[in-house]
Every structure is written in C-alpha cells, then in structure tokens.
Amino acid sequence: MKNPAAIGQPLDRVDGPLKVSGAATYAAEHQLDHAPLVGWIVEATIPAGRIKALDTGAAEKSAGVVAVLTHNNSPSQVPFGEPDDEGRFTQSRAMLGSDRVRYHGFPVALVIADTLANARHAAGLVEVSYDPAEAVTTTGSDADEVPDELDGGLDPDVTRGDFEQAYSESEVQLDVTYTTPNQASAAMEPHATIAEYDGNELWVYTSVQLIGPAVEVLANTLKLDPDKVRVLSPYIGGGFGSKLGLHNEAILACLGAMHLERPVKVVQHRRHVFHNAPHRGNSVQRIRLGASGDGKLKAIGHESYMPRARGYAFAEPTGASARTTYHADALLSRHRVKTVDMSLIDSCRAPGHSIGSLAFESAIDEMAYRCDMDPVAFRLVNMPDREPASGQPFSSHDLAECLREGAAKFGWDQRDPTPRSQERGRQLVGYGVASTIRMNILVKSTTRIRLSDDGSLIAWANMTDIGTGTYTILTQIAADILGLPAGKVSIELGDSAYPASCGSGGSFGAGSSGSALRDACMKLREKLVDIARKQESLKDADFDGASFEGGNLVLGDKKVPLAELVRQSGHDYLEVDGKVEPGEDHEKYSQHSYGAQFAEVTVDRDTGEVRVRRMLGVFSAGRILNRKTARSQLLGGMVWGISYALLEELMLDERCGAFVNRDFAEYHLAVNRDIPEVEIHFREQPDTHSNPLGSKGIGELSISGAGAAVANAIYHATGVRVRDFPITLDKLLEHLS
Amino acid sequence: MAVISVNGQEVTLNDDPRTTLLDTLREGAGLTGTKKGCDHGQCGACTVLLDGRRVNACLVLAIQCEGCEVTTIEGLGEGGDLHPLQQAFVRHDGFQCGYCTPGQVCSAYAMLEEVANGEASDVTGKGAVRLSAEEIRERMSGNLCRCGAYANIVDAILDAAGELDRKGEASR
C-alpha cells in the first residue's frame, strides 16, 4: 500500500490540529517564567529631520510605567546601516540610536510598562518636537538613480539587440504606461517580539522568515557575539516578505530587555505595521512593444521607476516578466529608482513578477488586440526557446502547454472576442487570460536528522514555516524516503540553535530545505543498509532490492525494523547531516515555474462594480510535494491577484510621508465574498535540473499573473483599459455610459 | 475584583477598566488561541462567542462580560477532541499560517447557529434561510485571511455543517 505520507500525497498539515485549536505558539504568545513587561512604540510624525526636544516626564510618572527609552538612554548600538558591506537583513538596524528621524513612523521612544493599557496610555504623554528637514516622499517617472543591483542579484539594465531600431521598424506598436500603488504585505499576525536578556545571552521570540540573518542583525546592531543570541520563531502568522528580516519592534524589545534586564514584549499595533515594517513601493512601468503584422513580437521594452528607501538597498525587479516570458529579437529592460524618506521598501510576495506581470501581461493583452489576435494565440506564437534576457536554455519550459490546457478547461473558445460584446442584463461579462512565470531558486541549506531506537525520526533545521506547509512537506520527504508513517517523524524548525537553512522566501523554501533533508535521509539509508550487511542473520538477504517500507528495511522477503537496526548499531540513535547547495545546473539553466490563469468577471454597467465570477489556473511547478498544501499556495496567490487588481492601495499623504489608510477598514484586502470558485490544475513534470527532489517554487507563482487575468477580463467585458491599478469602479464608471 | 466565565472557568479581571476582553484573554488568562490582528474590529482574528453570539473581542471591554459566558477556540472541542469544524478546517486546508484560524472557526460556529435561527444576510433571497456557499462567503467576510484560504474555508464549513446536521439527526 502506498504510504499516505509519501511525497505528493495530499497529507493534512501536521501542524493543523495545533493551529485550529489555538495551541500553536506565535511570537507574542510564548510563556516565560515571569510575564514580560510590555512596550509601546512612539512614532515620529515627520518624514525627515531631527528630534529637537523630548519630554518623557509625564509618561515616566504615569501608572505602571517602568521606563521610557529614547535616544538619550537606550543601550549603545552600531549606527544604522553599518557595516555597509553587509546585506540589508544583517546590517545594523539601530533604533533610538540618535536624534535623527528616518521616516514618518520611525520610533522616537519606547514606553515600557507593566500592562499594555498602561504602556499605550503613557505613550500618548510623550511630547516630541522636531527640526524637520526637506523630505522626498513621492516617486514617479522622475526616478533616475541606477541601483547597483536588483533584488535577487539581477542587473538593473538588460539589453539585447537594438531595441529602438526594432521598435521603430515594427508594423504594430504599443507605447503605454502602467502604474501600481504602494502596497502592504498585511500578514495577519502583526510583527511581534519578546526579548529576554540576562546580561550575557539574548533570547528573542519573534516572527521572522530568515532565522540566520535575524541572529546576525541583532549581533551587528546590539554589539553582541552571535553565539549569545538565540532566535526562536516556530510559528509565523504570515510573512509575505515583510518578515524576511527583523523589524523595528524586535530591535526595540531587545533594547528594552537589555536596558532593564527583564523580559520585554513589543507587539506592533496594526497601525504601527504600516510604517514600522516594510511595504512595496509604487511603480511606474512604461512598456513598449513592437510586432510584425502576423503578431510576432520584434521588440520588448520595459522601463521601471520606483522608490527606494533611504539607507536601505532594495530595488524591485519589476522587469522580470518582460525579461523572461516572450521572445523578441530586441529587448530593453531598465530599472531606475528614486531615494525617498519613507518607511522601508522591501520584498512583498513575488517581488518583481507580481506587479511586473500586472502591467506587462496587461500590455501584452493590449498588443494582442492591436494585432487583431486572440490573446491566447498571441501568447503562443511568441513563446521563447531560450530565456530572452540571458540567452540561456530553460531547465524546462511548459508555459505553452499551460496556456493550451487552461484555455480548453476554462472554455476560452466560448468567448466572443469583441470587447463589450457579452451582456447579461446590467452585467457586462468578460474573459481574461495571463501567462504566469516565476523564477526558481535553490539556496544552500543544511539539516540534521536522528533515528532513535524506537524507530522515530527527528529532523532539525533553522528553517521556518510561514504557512507554506514546511512542517508537512518535510515530514513527507522523510517519511517517503525512509518508509515511515508520518506519526514517526517530527520536524523541528524555527530555532537558531538548529542547522543553518535557507529560511522562507523567494519560493525557495521547500526545494532547498527539502533537498537538504532528502540528502540526510538518503545517507541514513546507506548507513542502515551497512548495519544490516554486518548482521549474520541477513548475510543471504537480497540487498540489491533493498527498500524502506512500513518502518522496516525490506530485503526481499525479510523485514528488519529500523528500530532494530539502530539497536544493532550499538548506539541509542543514528545521526546524519544533510545539505544542498546550488550547482552547475543553476549556472547553466534558466529555471522557472509556469502557469496560465483565466478569469471571468462581470462589470455592472451602472455602478462599475467588478465581481470575479470564476478563476482557473493550470500550473507547472515541477514535482508537487503535497497536492493539498501546494494547491493552497496557488489559491492564496490568486486571491492576492484579485486583491491587487481590484482593491489594494496604500494612500500616501505626500506632505508628511505617511500612509493615511493604515488599517483594514481602509486598506482593502480581498474578503471571502470577493473570492469566487477557483479551479486549480497541476501539470506535474519533475524538473531534473531544479534540485534533487525535482520540485520548483510555488508560493509566488500564481500571484504573478492572476491580477492581469482579472484586468484583462475587465477590458474584455467593458472595452475600457485602466492602466492605473487598482481598477476601482470610479476609474471604470466614466467610460461605461 | 470582577470575574468573568471563559470556557466554563472563572477568570478574574484586573482592576483596569480599559482592558479589552481580547487583552484579558491573551495577557491575563494565558488563552492565546484568540488572536490580535488589528485591535480595531476590522479583521475578525479575535472572534469569540459571547453568550453564543460572535463578537470581536478587541471591541468588547472585559468588564462588560461580567455575568456572560465567553467561549474561545480553546473551549470548542470536547474531551480533547477537535470540534467537527476544526477537523474540517484541517481536512480542507482552510488555513495556511493559522493566525486568523481560531477567529474563522469561532465565527463559523456562530454563523451556523445564525443560519439555523433563520437570520437573513445580504445574499438571502425570499423564503427560508438556507446554508449555501454564497451565504457562507457573505457571512464569513468579516474574517480576513491574508493567506487567501477563503475557498477552502467555504468547503470546510459546508462539510462540517453537513456532518453536524447528520449528528443532530442521529441524536434526535
């Protein structure tokens, strides 16, 4: 019988019972021997300048207040941003280190009290006056700084062929500019940290995607030996990039704990999160496409303009979609940034492709109509045989098949190609499509496993599970390779004491941490076979056909329990280390996951209200490790796509560099009723180059294209092309009557 | 000292009348299953049952709960077993990160009661109130899920509702 925990099986999440019963312990929920004090962040109300005066007298006298930390009394730190040769997740993130205000919302004080209510009340009593400085808060197409590199180490500029010439000679041309707004990751768990310091060691319970860099940033900021810093993050209430690194409350909690030598908890209030954790910057994307009369793309141009937060080197590779999806002889991709005095700008789910595809796949759709071609057919005639930007071969390429299969399953041929040709009463009906592509990354990872003499296996890594299903897929990998039931496998993650892993981000978590675990399990198999070979009673056994099933080493008709082999080894347990790192295949091949997404929308002719009626996606992401959790990842990305197309926008008050809609009543996320029936299909094709498991990234795949499919459906429904996301009803209404 | 009842157990309130039910549960009673997502009544992560009706615990002062029965996610299952709704959420993968989940489950629990009581919603047509995917989508829209598990949440609730119906019939 097939192991129900085998790789690919839709095993229920192993941490599911804990999560549905409220027993999973998130950052702010760790119970210490003594209840921690509670800190509340006082935020700056100017975007740039210096603190002129701080009066903390009233706050200090307020009930329950133990300390008010400011730049005048906080523990010594390495200046913000040093050393500058460190990456952004590990260089100093000093808080309350000087009188300088870096952005609106930047912490100027931390009020620490016995209870949350007391801390919050006293925070309102802190008086701050400022010497404001000139601040840059907005970005448009005036961005003219060239970043050293884009996120993921990509070059800011890529050119192939002579774009200007190819474009000017093209029979059909398109020159359009799309804009996407500032956006928030808005993980449901606000950033939260409890810090405990005994004068020697710092323990930090937090919510962070990358454990290794979290240790480093604390050591680098707080002048501590990394060996004296322990970071724990076993359960994380969503990250979406906003928790890749540690953020303000973590540093502040540590400062409080070090100052008082008592545990301090700082939970960002939801309103804090919008400024004290990173957001995605707004983009201006100019897209120029040139094609011959038969719809073959000759020139692809993508120019991106985005903000970059002062002192924080993150630039989003918005051109990723334009660089990788379609073939054209000439390619121009350029990224410019403008330094702004704004809260941190960093990765948000699928940096580059998510908002890049929103614009680029919309422009591709425009071009299909301009060439008088079906949008699916137009995409199909422009498939690349090598990666357009690098000229490298693809490790595998399955976009065309995803498009064909998706079109058939969706009933694309039922569509009248003419925009605004399908009406049901007041409802204008439209179908839209978008290609989906997302780079596949492998990151060095290690792990350690231990098989005990009761036949149970435990694996450790400082990996995290941010809701992606890491605990579950790692359980399956070990269970599958060693022939164990899921109940015999425990996965221990989220602790800096465990072997260094890739962490969660960039859709590399499952493939990287999973391949390290696979390596360890394969080595353990060899070890177990070696032990068996030494057994006199097994000397005639069939070692050639050795397999692992049901907790046994199976040698022909002989079954030897793994627990027995451990005992025969003379040890209480067997321990093996595993690792993986990117090799030649990641140098030689351009690696991506693929998909095609289809949406049906209705637009109310009289109100402009858009409803998504159904969505369908066909995805090709190598070997699927768990069909249930993989589907959920794709489902989630499609929800984000709908949300990006229709709802999400951080609204900036340019005068003070502050987002004004810092809550969920005004920063709109898709809610349950916004989400229709969603159909998801896998094209399972293990990629022999991606990693030893053959899997590819999936967490950021569907968000890359889902929004454009919705936007393109709106165009098909209405004949109106809105190039300023989100497509709210006011932008449609004026064109509908 | 005022006392409230949570999952049948007495919880003594602190003497600060500003303390919300949510902070009482999480900070005072150590019942951290109820989550704080926004502290504004805008996300639903803190949904609990107050005398059987769903409320956002962040919008209720603890002192208002004197004499009421509060049920949190920790109080839903019986004898260590998960409630059928909790089991269905696991089976249908009605969550990813799990942070909104206790609120979703509590909300779903009360929502099924509301439907059973014939309380209409924005999508209810003429005639009797019937549970449907569309009713669930509307009635669960006060519980945000950033991981985007909505479709699975709907499936989980439909599945659990069927099971609860069958159990109810069997016990009659």
How confident is the model at residue B26, as a pLDDT?
97
Nearest one of A622, A318, A580 to A440, comparing CA atoms? A622
The structural domain count of chain A equals: 3
Domain boundary among A225, A253, A277: A277
Same domain, A405 and A468: no
Statement to judge: residues A420 and A470 lie in one domain: no
pLDDT higher than threshold 60 for residue B172: no
Phi, psi of A714 (to 5 degrees): -65, -40
CATH number at residue A285: 3.30.365.10
Report the percent of chain A where pLDDT is more than 90: 97
Q: Are A676 and A610 in contact (CB under 8 A)?
A: no
Q: Do A633 and B38 touch (CB under 8 A)?
A: no
- Digit-coded pLDDT (tens) for A671-690: 999 999 999 999 998 899 99
CA distance A672 to chain B (A): 5
Task: Summarize the confidence of residues A258-275 as an average pLDDT.
Answer: 98
- A188 vs B37, B73, B140: nearest CB: B37
DSSP one-letter string for B72-137: -GGGTSBTTBPPHHHHHHHHTT--SS-SSHHHHHHHHHHHHHHHHTT---TT--SSS----HHHHH
Domain ranges (residues) in chain B: 3-75, 84-171
Would you say A503 and A441 are in contact if contact means Cβ atoms under 8 Å apart? no
Together in a domain, A426 and A525: no
Instruction: Please tell me whether residues A519 and A507 are part of one structural domain.
Output: yes
CA distance A156 to chain B (A): 31
Say which of A423, A536, A700, A734 is annotated catalytic.
A700
Inter-chain CB proximity A629 and B93 less than 8 Å: yes
Q: Is residue A16 part of a domain?
A: no
Give the residue-averaged pLDDT of A527-550.
94
Q: Read off the tokens for A76.
A: 């010594």
The mean pLDDT of chain A is 97
Burial class (CB in 10 A: 0-12, 13-18, 19+), A75: middle
What mean pLDDT do residues A261-288 have?
A: 98
How many C-alpha atoms does B102 have within 13 Å on its Cβ side?
Answer: 35
Query: A457-460 and A489-492: which strand pairing?
Result: parallel
Distance CA A429, CA A418 (A): 11
Please give the helix or strand (H or E) that residue A339 lies within, else none.
strand A330-340
Answer yes or no: do A450 and A550 share one domain: yes
Residue A1 confidence class, pLDDT cut points 50, 70, 90: low
CB contact A190 to B (< 8 Å): yes
Token pair of A152 as six digits: 């993921």
> Measured between CB atoms, does B31 come within 8 Å of chain A?
yes
Q: Contact B99/A188, CB-based, under 8 Å? A: yes
Q: Is the peptide bond before A317 cis (omega within 30 degrees of 0)?
A: no
pLDDT for position A534:
94
Pairwise CB contact (< 8 Å): A270 & B144: no
Same domain, A426 and A514: no
Q: DSSP code of B8? A: T
Percent over 70 (pLDDT), chain A = 100
The answer to whether the Cβ–Cβ distance between A677 and B151 falls below 8 Å is: yes
Secondary structure (3-state) at A695? strand
Kindly report whether the peptide bond that precedes residue A726 is cis, defined as omega within 30 degrees of 0: yes
Contacts of A240 in chain B (CB under 8 A): 146
Within this chain, do residues A462 and A606 fall inside the same structural domain, yes or no? Answer: no
Residue A604: φ, ψ to 5°: -75, 120
- Locus of tokens 């057994």: A535
Residue A493 contacts B, CB cutoff 8 Å: no
* Same domain, yes or no: A69 and A199: yes
Q: Do A13 and B34 touch (CB under 8 A)?
A: no
Cβ count near A139 (within 10 Å): 24
Asked if the structure places residue A12 within a domain, the reply is no
Comparing CB atoms, the residue among B16, B33, B93 nearest residue A22 is B33
Could you tell me how many CB contacts below 8 A there are between chain A and chain B? 187
Q: What integer pLDDT is reported at residue A484 of this predicted model?
A: 98
Which of A555, A581, A607 is the endpoint of a domain?
A581
Backbone angles phi, psi at B55, to 5 degrees: -140, 155
A386 and A525 fall within a common domain? no
H or E element in which residue A552 lies: strand A552-555
Q: Is position A1 within any domain?
A: no
Mean pLDDT computed over A646-669: 96
Confidence of residue B91 (pLDDT cuts 50, 70, 90): very high
Strand partners, A53: A129
Q: Are residues A465 and A600 in the same domain?
A: no
Say whether pLDDT at A160 is over 70.
yes
Q: Look up the domain containing A572 and give its range.
A: 443-581
Contacts of A675 in chain B (CB under 8 A): 137, 148, 150-151
Residue from A215, A156, A212 nearest A443 by CA: A212
Q: Catalytic residue at A700?
A: yes
What's the half-sphere exposure (Cβ side, CA atoms, 13 Å) at B8? 5
User: Per residue in A389-437, pLDDT tens?
Assistant: 999 999 999 999 999 999 999 999 999 999 999 999 999 999 999 999 9
Residue in chain B lying closest to A238 (CA): B97
Residues A472 and A621 in one domain: no
Same domain, A335 and A391: yes
CB proximity list for A642: less than 8 A, separation 6 or greater:
A612, A615, A670, A674, A675, A706, A707, A710
Q: Which CATH number fits domain B3-75: 3.40.30.10, 3.10.20.30, 3.40.50.300, 3.40.50.970?
A: 3.10.20.30
The reply to whether B84-171 shares the fold of B3-75 is no
pLDDT at B171: 65
Pairwise CB contact (< 8 Å): A675 & B39: no
pLDDT, mean of residues A537-559: 93
pLDDT of residue A240: 98
| B61-64, Cβ contacts within 8 angstroms, sequence gap of 24 or more | B61/B17, B61/B18, B61/B19, B61/B20, B61/B21, B62/B2, B62/B4, B62/B13, B62/B19, B62/B20, B62/B21, B62/B23, B62/B24, B62/B28, B63/B2, B63/B13, B63/B17, B63/B19, B64/B21
Chain A residues with CB under 8 Å of B138 CB are 672-673
Residue B48 has pLDDT above 60, yes or no: yes
Residue A492: pLDDT above 80?
yes
Task: Return the CATH number of the domain spanning residue range B84-171.
Answer: 1.10.150.120
Q: Does B102 touch chain A (CB under 8 A)?
A: yes
